[in-house]
Structure 1
């Protein structure tokens, strides 16, 4: 079995990302670990959020020229058995996230990987900020964009369209 993608994005969230890319250029996500913005995926112009050597690159979403999705190393340790699905819902985004003025907010949904998927992921070490600087990139297994209906139930398995 190929290792599954550690992060996906719904088509609705991908559409908003494309619109934000048109206005702001290259983008990135950092999965917030709490504090001011709860546990929201925060969207920034690429490079505006400084990635640490121990941060983990979950995926580079195949939206536009690519949107990297980062998470802190300690938070990854807690979430490594979970596939992150970035969705969008009506509401006000996090104060520092680019979608804040759009009347929408990005939302993290999750799905626990199966035992078989976890074994496949164990064979593919995550890419850290330090490894990224050396040119390493995460393995991609098909598209990262999934239908909204597949992300509504956090327990559902998102499948590529």
Structure 2
């Protein structure tokens, strides 16, 4: 079971509290995936994001460390793909589910179209740097939990 986190802040450098909170969550998600634990920071003019991912390696020829990133996006994921999403990609045993879903989201104009075709549990957070939009979702049954917090309060997404 992997653990993912994203903290949005006005400016991380000016907020010791945000960094302290992130450190606590990072330590907690480390228990969910002992094979890889990484952090990535993204800054814009108005806000900073801290992404973290702890991975338990179960698929592919080698571990897919997260967050995944490129010049246009950043992605953390916890889930499994059982079918849907370009099934021909699933035949490539050298790639885990994280890479398959990340590639599918980047190639489709609508993230909802990707999710409609996906079979299996998931929770993810995706940053589209070009559009300056942050997307997050979990499967309709909540098989992978996704919590949203605001100033110390946390709730499940619907």
Which structure dedicates a bigger proportion of its chain to strand?
2
* TM-score (normalised: structure 1): 0.28
Larger Rg: 2
* TM-score (normalised: structure 2): 0.28
Q: Taking CA–CA contacts closer than 8 Å with sequence separation of 6 or more, which of the two structures ends up with the larger relative contact order? A: 1
